Chains A and B, each alone.
Chain A
Amino acid sequence: MRVRLFARLSDLAGVRETEVELGEGITAGDAYRLLCGRFPAISGIGGSLMYAVNAEYVSDTHPLKDGDELALIPPVSGGRGAL
């Protein structure tokens, strides 16, 4: 499955997209944790991450299926509490 990374996350990982193999019942949050193994620089920011599947926001417990496109969404600039 294709995973897209943006902004700070893509800078840290050094890639804008990658692939993950889907195991049984894997969720959006699981996919992020899997990628932390591959790109250690992105670990530790999971708490502030949002997830999108097929260009729609989902929760970290959203189950993934073949053909989905997952995006890891760091906080956008004007979120609550910003500047």
Chain B
Amino acid sequence: MLFEVTAGPLDPERLVDHVRQDEAGAVALFYGVVRNNNLGRRVLYLEYDAYPEMAANVMREIADDAMSRYSITDVAIQHRTGRLEIGETSLLVAVSAPHRREAFEACHALVDRFKEVVPIWKKEVWEGGEEWIEGEAVTQ
């Protein structure tokens, strides 16, 4: 497994190579990409803040949970911090599994859970304003 929070560009090939195994016939790879609009506003760029040490711990916990609930063989997750421009990749989640169904389902569940509990925040900056995007607090 591999969990990283980094200020540099993400590396999808490295993640896929990391999770690839001879017994795994499928690798699902999710890209989270900076979108140019939200709630009708034209977004200029995003700024990500993180608690990196804790984020890596929480990523490991959600990956361990996915490994116990799905028939998958490995997980790798990377998230970028700092200023990201439109079209840049903020999140990568790679999952390998013997078969595609488990790879897709576990990858989907991991992305959803990631966004609920991993301590990484995004600030949206648009013309004339900015705002930290916050969901509701989730109990553990």
Total chain B interface residues with beta-carbon distance under 8 A: 28
Tally the A-B contacts, defined by beta carbons under 8 Å: 89
A80 and B49 contacting across the interface, CB-CB below 8 Å: no
Q: When A4-B51, A10-B49, A55-B54 are in contact, do A74 and B121 touch as well, CB less than 8 Å?
A: yes
B121 and A83 contacting across the interface, CB-CB below 8 Å: no
Interface residues on A, range: 20 to 34
A81 within 8 A of B: yes
Q: Is the interface of B mostly helix, strand, loop or mixed?
A: mixed
Closest to A4 in B: B51
B138 and A79 contacting across the interface, CB-CB below 8 Å: yes
**B120 neighbours in A (Cβ, 8 Å):** 76-77
Closest to A16 in B: B49
In the complex, what's the smallest C-beta–C-beta distance from B66 to chain A, in angstroms? 16
B135 and A74 contacting across the interface, CB-CB below 8 Å: no
